[in-house]
């Protein structure tokens, strides 16, 4: 079977799985939904491996397969195909997405077991994976947009999965609206591309881009900036990032899959895929890198003070994607994608562990109420520690290798790009501090009541309540199920977390500088046309960077240990002393309020104007006026139907006389 | 001589017609119409249509008008109220009638019909005689003849139905 | 007399009949005026028949008489039915078919 056939199969299985689960709800037992979903993604992963094998058989120049199923639209200068592109970049993304998705599906089989929306969950999750795969396998901009939009939809559907929870639906709408704003950018970019180059196919566009545009010509910069709008909305970069923390309203597996490993990386993929365009417009690439850096720091600073477990991890995601965006913005495509892969591993692991902890806490997520789970949850605790080590870039973990590859590249480019490297390392320090703040808060210290209950063998129970607002809920449909599942008790969760933990530890070994360069060589065929293909820090420089990164990571862990274990209370005192700073950070840099002021209020004002004035007076007025006219005309005509026979006779004879007069006049 | 007869007939017809519309008592209107019909019969004679004249007297003035007399006797002559509910009717009606007359006259007189100005060609001997009419009815206009007889049958049935006893409860206030 | 005299007389009678239909309010008299109009038509027919020397016009006049007779029968039947239902015999009062 050829690579493209594998490509189509990769798309087919999740779609089929989604439909079978959705349509077979009467026939299939509930448990089957989970296994069908997991199997579908597993099969997709295997087909991804098949495509990989087929690619590797070919020489580098030929590792670029396209195939089209049918033509969407043809004529009038348009030629839109339902076509996929199988090359190293897309296969890489396919493997990462399907691999991590399989593990998350497995985790969800146990985690969502008592939820009444079990089938809906797996159907949507499968459809999400299908959309994401469509996005990465698309061979032209139109199909990319289709996948992009589907991903946005499924993200919305899954964030508001517990749809009777007011905060969840609000979060879903927020995510969707911001995503759509990004979609607008993407669509406008596509239109501009078509206008300038005349084709939607990736091959055509990227081949002709260097010739069609002069460097930094305003059209190509506009195109790239619009692409960035789309990428930033999807990848939650400032200022379009406000939806991501709220998206934690969705179930934990959703956060793990969509908001850590896959959907939020779509923006990174987009920039990497359209790198020929970005290289013709270095200004836009620099904008991307700067935004990535800024987001990195903002998110890191917020993660230092928020107290909701999942939101800390969400801000950490935002920060790490800032690294990736920065990486692909400065031209380190391979490094950025490598970090994407490792991040998928350890972030999914962290979310899974967080899910376990939340279950133990009877669905409460406030870390101020947690503590001392070390003895009660050994496995989850270990997973949490491993994930955090990888996140902080502890020497030896996958995160260490991937993060520093990006930063060394920045240093290698030299000049003003040193700023990226320096601030990137600062961000790494902050990352280490907040990730171990989480670890020490949750695992160390005096065991809280829930932990003690767990040590005695059963999970704590509390009244079902909204973790964000505390208002009571019931556990019927549209709300989380009544049972809580932790990793220690359920095998699927343990298996998934175990695999990811292993990958988080050894995943970096594929890119040891000077020793192995698996990902770099694999992705070479896609990026060989890049200006930066030859830029490569020397092995010595890379190892220096690694050492610095490792030291910073250890320092950060030590600081966190100091603040949260040895001298408890320091952070509270700091918060009291630097109250304005603390408030600023705790309120997420007031981004929500800013966007509310700039966009939400004007939109609401326009809407209320439209409703109260325009609709009432203009539209209704027009309709009422039409009705009035018709009624009036009807009334006027009705007056002729008086019922008086003599009046009718009068009209008859009068008409006849008039007609006769007319004919007499005409014929004379 | 012929002109004198024409004018007598014309005055009779016109007078009868005006009397029909002017007299208040319906019974008198019926009688006026009878006079009108007789005058018309005379005019028909002048036009060499003996059979039609005879039919006019026997059928029309004889049968139809007698029927009218019966109904008027049964129904009675109600006096019409003075107030006119339809605005402008009293004014427009004579106006329109006059306009109608004017137009028709102009149309006929202004037309280029040959033979309007003279008395007509010499007619064969049997013109207008019953034999002639009968021949035409049974040969050239057979279908019209049969249709007319069908129509008469229908109207006879209609008369029976209309005048028959009502079935079911009477609706005294029902509008027609 | 020339044919035109008869035709003008016929149109005059027709106009009188039409005016009568418009003016009078008793259904009986209105029917009478309708008879006037029909007879005016008959007169014109017979006059033209004489003018053309063709007896077809007279046949037409005879058929018109038949039709008039039938119409009178039905009309008078209606009037009798109205009278029997104690409704006013005034054509302005009988306006149930108003729009």
pLDDT beyond 60 at A232 = yes
pLDDT beyond 80 at A437 = yes
Closest CB to B96: pick one of A654, A663, A668. A654
Percent over 70 (pLDDT), chain B: 87
Place of tokens 């239909």: C21
Measured at the CA of B85, the angle between CA B82 and CA B90, to 5 degrees, comes to: 70
B171: pLDDT confidence band, cut at 50, 70 and 90? low
Contacts of B68 in chain C (CB under 8 A): 28, 31-32, 72, 76
What's the rounded mean pLDDT across residues A58-80?
83
Kindly report the backbone phi and psi dihedral angles of residue A308, in degrees, each rounded to the nearest multiple of 5, phi listed first: -85, 130
Q: How far apart are CA A241 and CA A146, in angstroms?
A: 22
Cα-to-chain-centroid distance, residue C39: 6
pLDDT beyond 80 at A55 = yes
Query: C91 vs chain B: nearest CA distance in angstroms?
Result: 10
Lowest-pLDDT range of A16-20, A444-448, C61-65: A444-448
C53: pLDDT confidence band, cut at 50, 70 and 90? confident
Cα-to-chain-centroid distance, residue A257: 9
Closest CB to B103: pick one of A642, A650, A661. A661
pLDDT at B170: 55
pTM: 0.71
Closest to B101 in 3D by CA, of C9, A221, A254, C70: C9
Q: How far apart are CA A10 and CA A436, in angstroms?
A: 38
Q: How far apart are CA C4 and CA C11, in angstroms?
A: 11
Contacts of C96 in chain A (CB under 8 A): 643
Closest-CA residue in chain C for A650? Answer: C22
Q: How far apart are CA B91 and CA A105, in angstroms?
A: 94
Mean pLDDT of chain C, nearest integer: 90
Tens digit of each residue's pLDDT (9 = 90 or more) over A459-479 = 777 777 777 777 777 777 777
Length of chain C: 99
Mutate to test the interface with A, among B99, B105, B106 (most CBs of A within 10 A): B99
pLDDT at A446: 80
Residues A646, C99: C-beta atoms closer than 8 Å = no
Closest CB to C11: pick one of B104, B141, B174. B104
pLDDT beyond 60 at C99 = no
Residues C21, A641: C-beta atoms closer than 8 Å = no
Q: How far apart are CA B60 and CA B53, in angstroms?
A: 10
Query: C8 vs chain B: nearest CA distance in angstroms?
Result: 6
Tell which phi-psi region holds residue B111, choosing left (phi > 0), alpha (psi between -120 and 50) or beta. beta
What's the rounded mean pLDDT across residues A282-311?
91
A313: pLDDT confidence band, cut at 50, 70 and 90? very high
Closest-CA residue in chain B for A643? Answer: B86
What's the rounded mean pLDDT across residues A647-666?
90
What's the rounded mean pLDDT across residues A567-583?
79
Contacts of B36 in chain C (CB under 8 A): 36, 39
Q: Are A171 and A159 in contact (CB under 8 A)?
A: yes
- Report DSSP letters for A258-308, one per residue: IIIISGGGHHHHHHHHTHHHHHH-HHHHHHHHHHHHHHHHHHHHHHTT--B
pLDDT at A463: 73
Closest to A464 in 3D by CA, of A667, A35, A164: A164
Contacts of B104 in chain A (CB under 8 A): 660
Question: Based on the number of CB atoms within 10 Å of its own CB, is A423 exposed (0-12), middle (13-18) or buried (19 or more)?
Answer: middle
The DSSP bridge partners found for residue A68 are A83
Tens digit of each residue's pLDDT (9 = 90 or more) over A120-175 = 999 999 999 999 999 999 999 999 999 999 999 999 999 999 888 888 999 999 99
Mutate to test the interface with B, among A655, A659, A660, A663 (most CBs of B within 10 A): A660
Closest-CA residue in chain C for A641? Answer: C99
Closest to A282 in 3D by CA, of A211, A209, A331: A331
Tens digit of each residue's pLDDT (9 = 90 or more) over A4-20 = 888 899 999 999 999 99
Cα-to-chain-centroid distance, residue A621: 45
Closest CB to B155: pick one of C16, C17, C74. C74
Mean pLDDT of chain B, nearest integer: 85
Q: How far apart are CA A182 and CA A230, in angstroms?
A: 4
Q: How far apart are CA B21 and CA B16, in angstroms?
A: 9
pLDDT beyond 70 at B166 = no
- Both tokens of A164, joined, read 């009777």
Contacts of A640 in chain C (CB under 8 A): 99
Tens digit of each residue's pLDDT (9 = 90 or more) over A368-397 = 888 888 888 888 899 999 999 999 988 888
| Top-confidence residue, A633 or A366 | A633
Mean pLDDT of chain A, nearest integer: 87
B120: pLDDT confidence band, cut at 50, 70 and 90? low
pLDDT beyond 80 at A292 = yes
What's the rounded mean pLDDT across residues B112-127?
72
pLDDT at B126: 73
Chains with 3+ CB–CB pairs under 8 A to C are A, B
Q: How far apart are CA A240 and CA A318, in angstroms?
A: 11
Which residues lie below 8 Å from residue A620, measured CB to CB, with a gap of 6+? none
The DSSP bridge partners found for residue A472 are A465
Which residues lie below 8 Å from residue A643, measured CB to CB, with a gap of 6+? C95, C96, C97, C98, C99
- Report DSSP letters for B29-96, one per residue: HHHHHHHHHHHHHHHHHHTT-HHHHHHIIIIIIIIIHHHHHHHHHHH--PPPPS--SSTTHHHHHHHH
pLDDT beyond 60 at B20 = yes
Maximum distance among all Cα pairs of chain A, rounded to whole angstroms: 120
Tens digit of each residue's pLDDT (9 = 90 or more) over A318-333 = 999 999 999 999 988 8
Q: How far apart are CA C26 and CA C23, in angstroms?
A: 10
pLDDT beyond 70 at C98 = no
The 8 Å CB, 24+ separation contacts for A555-560 are: A555/A429, A555/A432, A556/A392, A556/A428, A556/A429, A556/A430, A556/A431, A556/A432, A556/A433, A556/A436, A557/A392, A557/A394, A557/A432, A557/A436, A559/A432, A559/A433, A560/A432, A560/A433, A560/A434, A560/A435, A560/A436, A560/A437, A560/A439, A560/A440
- Both tokens of A615, joined, read 């609709």
Q: Are A48 and A96 in contact (CB under 8 A)?
A: no
The verdict on whether omega for the bond into residue A239 sits within 30 degrees of 0, i.e. cis, is: yes
pLDDT at A147: 93
C61: pLDDT confidence band, cut at 50, 70 and 90? very high
pLDDT at A226: 94
The DSSP bridge partners found for residue A366 are A308
Q: Are C42 and B40 in contact (CB under 8 A)?
A: yes
Residues B103, A650: C-beta atoms closer than 8 Å = no
pLDDT at A613: 85
pLDDT at A80: 86
Contacts of A664 in chain B (CB under 8 A): 103, 106-107, 110
Tens digit of each residue's pLDDT (9 = 90 or more) over A582-612 = 888 888 888 888 888 888 889 899 999 888 8
Contacts of C14 in chain A (CB under 8 A): none
- HEC-encoded secondary structure of B143-175: HHHHHHHHHHHHHHHHHHHHHCCCCCCCCCCCC
B169: pLDDT confidence band, cut at 50, 70 and 90? low
What's the rounded mean pLDDT across residues A82-97?
91
Mutate to test the interface with A, among B100, B104, B175 (most CBs of A within 10 A): B100
pLDDT at A591: 83
Closest CB to B107: pick one of A646, A647, A660. A660
pLDDT at C25: 87
Closest CB to C22: pick one of A642, A643, A649. A649
Closest to C47 in 3D by CA, of C98, C95, C7: C7
- Both tokens of A567, joined, read 């001298």
Query: C41 vs chain A: nearest CA distance in angstroms?
Result: 16
A455: pLDDT confidence band, cut at 50, 70 and 90? confident
> Is the CB of B92 inside 8 Å of chain C's CB atoms?
yes
Q: Are A128 and A158 in contact (CB under 8 A)?
A: yes
C95: pLDDT confidence band, cut at 50, 70 and 90? confident
pLDDT beyond 90 at A619 = no
Q: Is A207 helix (H, G, I), strand (E, B) or coil?
A: helix
Lowest-pLDDT range of A129-133, A247-251, C73-77: A247-251
- H-only helix segments in A160-217: 166-197, 202-212
Tens digit of each residue's pLDDT (9 = 90 or more) over A526-562 = 887 777 777 777 788 888 888 888 998 999 989 888 8
Q: Are A273 and A317 in contact (CB under 8 A)?
A: no
Contacts of A657 in chain B (CB under 8 A): 96, 99-100, 103
Mutate to test the interface with C, among B101, B151, B166 (most CBs of C within 10 A): B101
pLDDT beyond 60 at B85 = yes
pLDDT at B115: 67
| Top-confidence residue, A456 or C84 | C84
Kindly report the backbone phi and psi dihedral angles of residue A482, in degrees, each rounded to the nearest multiple of 5, phi listed first: -75, -25
């Amino acid at each position: 079977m050829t690579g493209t056939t594998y490509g189509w199969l990769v798309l087919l299985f999740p779609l089929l799985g989604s439909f079978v689960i959705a349509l077979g709800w009467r026939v299939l037992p509930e448990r089957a939904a989970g296994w069908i979903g997991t199997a579908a993604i597993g099969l997709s992963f295997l087909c991804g491996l098949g495509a990989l094998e087929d690619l590797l058989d070919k020489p580098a120049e030929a590792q670029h397969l396209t195939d089209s199923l049918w033509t969407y639209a043809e004529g009038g200068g348009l030629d839109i195909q339902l076509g996929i592109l199988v090359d190293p970049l897309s296969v890489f993304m396919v493997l990462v997405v399907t691999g991590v998705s399989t593990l998350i599906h497995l985790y969800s089989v146990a985690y969502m077991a008592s939820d009444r929306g079990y089938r809906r969950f797996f159907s949507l999750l499968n459809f999400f994976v299908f959309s994401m795969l469509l996005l990465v396998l698309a061979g032209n901009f139109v199909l990319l947009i289709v996948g992009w939009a589907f991903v946005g939809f499924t993200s919305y559907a899954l964030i508001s999965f517990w749809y009777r929870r007011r905060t969840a639906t609000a979060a879903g709408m927020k995510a969707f609206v911001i995503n759509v704003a990004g979609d607008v950018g993407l669509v406008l970019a596509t239109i501009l591309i078509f206008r300038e180059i005349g084709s939607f196919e990736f091959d055509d566009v990227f081949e002709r881009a260097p010739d069609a545009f002069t460097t930094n010509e305003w059209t190509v910069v506009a195109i790239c900036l619009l692409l960035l709008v789309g990428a930033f909305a999807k990848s939650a970069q400032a200022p379009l990032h406000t939806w991501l923390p709220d998206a934690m309203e969705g179930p934990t597996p959703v956060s793990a899959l969509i908001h850590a490993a896959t959907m939020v990386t779509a923006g990174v993929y987009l920039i990497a895929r359209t790198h020929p365009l970005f290289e013709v417009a270095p200004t836009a690439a620099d904008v991307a890198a700067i935004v990535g850096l800024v987001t990195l720091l903002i998110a890191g600073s917020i993660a230092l003070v928020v107290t909701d477990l999942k939101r800390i991890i969400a801000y950490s995601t935002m920060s790490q994607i800032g690294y990736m965006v920065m990486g692909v913005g400065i031209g380190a495509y391979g490094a950025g994608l490598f970090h994407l892969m490792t991040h998928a591993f350890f972030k999914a692991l962290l979310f899974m562990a967080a899910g376990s902890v939340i279950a133990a806490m009877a669905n409460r997520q406030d870390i101020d109420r947690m503590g001392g789970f070390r003895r009660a949850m050994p496995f989850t605790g270990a997973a949490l520690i491993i994930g955090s080590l990888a996140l902080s870039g502890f020497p030896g973990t996958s995160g260490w290798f991937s993060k520093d590859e990006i930063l060394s590249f920045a240093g290698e480019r030299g000049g003003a790009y040193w700023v990226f490297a320096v601030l990137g390392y600062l961000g790494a320090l902050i990352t280490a501090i907040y990730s171990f703040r989480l670890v020490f808060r949750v695992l160390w210290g005096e065991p809280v009541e829930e932990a003690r209950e767990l040590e005695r063998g059963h999970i704590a129970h509390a009244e079902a309540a909204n973790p964000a607002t505390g208002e009571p809920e019931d556990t019927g449909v549209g709300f989380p199920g009544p049972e809580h599942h932790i990793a220690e008790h359920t095998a699927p969760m343990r298996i998934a977390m175990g695999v990811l933990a292993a990958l988080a530890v050894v995943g970096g070994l594929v890119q040891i500088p000077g020793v192995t360069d698996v990902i770099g060589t694999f992705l070479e065929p896609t990026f060989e046309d890049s200006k930066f293909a030859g830029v490569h820090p020397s092995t010595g420089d890379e190892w220096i960077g690694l050492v610095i990164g490792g030291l910073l990571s250890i320092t950060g862990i030590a600081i966190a240990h100091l603040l949260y274990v040895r001298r408890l209370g320091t952070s509270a005192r700091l918060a009291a002393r630097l109250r304005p700073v603390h408030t600023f950070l705790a309120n997420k840099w007031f981004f929500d309020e800013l966007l509310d002021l700039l966009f939400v209020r004007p939109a609401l004002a326009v809407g209320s104007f439209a409703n109260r004035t325009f609709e009432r007076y203009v539209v209704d007025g027009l309709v009422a006026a039409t009705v009035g006219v018709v009624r009036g005309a009807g009334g006027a005509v009705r007056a002729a139907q008086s019922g008086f026979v003599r009046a009718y006779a009068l009209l008859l004879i009068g008409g006849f006389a008039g007609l006769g007069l007319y004919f007499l006049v005409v014929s004379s | 001589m012929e002109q004198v007869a024409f004018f007598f007939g014309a005055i009779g017809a016109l007078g009868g017609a005006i009397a029909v519309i002017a007299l208040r008592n319906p019974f008198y209107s019926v009688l006026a119409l009878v006079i009108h019909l007789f005058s018309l019969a005379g005019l028909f004679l002048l036009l060499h249509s003996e059979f039609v004249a005879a039919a006019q007297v026997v059928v029309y003035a004889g049968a139809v008008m007698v029927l009218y007399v019966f109904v008027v006797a049964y129904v009675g002559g109600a006096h019409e109220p003075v107030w006119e509910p339809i605005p402008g009717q009293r004014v427009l009606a004579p106006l329109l009638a006059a306009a109608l007359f004017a137009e028709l006259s102009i149309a006929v007189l202004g037309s280029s019909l040959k033979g309007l100005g003279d008395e007509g060609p010499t007619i064969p001997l049997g013109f207008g005689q019953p034999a002639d009419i009968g021949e035409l009815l049974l040969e050239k206009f057979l279908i019209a003849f049969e249709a007319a007889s069908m129509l008469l049958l229908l109207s006879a049935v209609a008369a029976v139905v209309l005048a028959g006893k009502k079935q079911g409860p009477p609706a005294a206030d029902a509008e027609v | 007399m020339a044919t035109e005299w008869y035709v003008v007389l016929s149109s005059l009678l027709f106009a009188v009949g039409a005016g009568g239909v418009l003016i009078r309010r008793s259904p009986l008299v209105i029917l009478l005026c309708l008879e006037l109009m029909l007879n005016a038509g008959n007169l014109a027919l017979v006059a033209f028949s004489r003018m053309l020397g063709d007896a077809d016009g007279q046949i037409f006049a005879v058929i018109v008489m038949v039709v008039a007779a039938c119409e009178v029968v039905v009309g008078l039947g209606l009037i009798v039915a109205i009278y029997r239902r104690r409704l006013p015999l005034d054509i302005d009062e009988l306006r149930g078919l108003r729009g």
